[in-house]
Chains A and B, each alone.
Chain A
Amino acid sequence: MIISTTSLISLREFFSNHQILICFNGPISTNVIGEIGSALKKHIESNHAPELEVMDVFSVYIEMSQNIRNYATSNGFSDSESSATVVIAAVEAGHYAVCAGNLVEMEDGKALLKRIHELADCDKAQLKLLYKQQLRQPHTQTPGQGAGLGLIEIARRSSQPLEASLDPLGPGRAFFSLRAII
């Protein structure tokens, strides 16, 4: 299907209706992560409710996008396989939703889903304990092995339990989506 000017306006309406501030869909690079991050920080700094910590939104965004990038790198994914979908939207009462999705091996996706559900059941004190334990795990030089700590950080910064889903996408693979509300 060829994009038309009318599809652009309907895309714009979709963004507006969902209060989407920033959206990215494509191969994610270090530069893209950095530039979107700066734009996000500037936007929230000038608009946020007093009780919201700007750095919480920024941190969740950074950890999610770096997790995706590390995963794609360590799996030797091509540019098109490394494509990420990142959406940051305003939600009611001064909160923000940070969502990110990417292509994963089905088995990795299932393990991630299980991990997210475990984290969603933890209270803040349990999350802090897990965080401290994970920090003391030895460094791994293999990129992509750091996802554990990033996920705990995301859960700690969130004001609601994390939500995740897994949609089959080709043989043995799936699209993994994660949403955090800050």
Chain B
Amino acid sequence: MSQSFGTDDYISAAIEKHADMVRRICFLYLRNSTDVEDVFQEVFLKFFLNYTSFESEDHQEAWLCRVAFNKCKDYRKSFWHRRVVSIEEMEIPYEDPEQQELIKTVLELPSDQKEVVYLHYYENRTIPEIAEIMQKNINTVYSILRRAKAQLKKKVGDDEL
């Protein structure tokens, strides 16, 4: 990110770099493209407005994860989202039925378990990193991960984990 902060190139590069991660986090919570778009834009705007407070690239990603999780949860908790039924279901084609079952089971997990599973299995974050992102105790994160695995085993079996 050699571009100076605030320029169009810098904004484009920053979006390009973190867009997929934010989009995946949105996928965990939201199914409507409009909702995704709103959350996506708000997360990135907040990112650029708080850019100067980041210490490192890792800190940036951790911060973005935290903000994206919170925004998605806030959005789902909002009055409008709770009352209006989404008519657009964003579906990505699955390779096999086991994969579909696994994804559906993960998406049905409670928020904290879903977040820990995503960060641990996809982002390959360590438990202390996850604890820092989620602002929770490490043991708590372990417990959450353990409960999430137990849920997934119950649904999809040991082969998938």
Are A and B co-members of a single complex? Answer: no
Q: Tell me the B residues contacting A by CB distance below 8 Å.
A: none
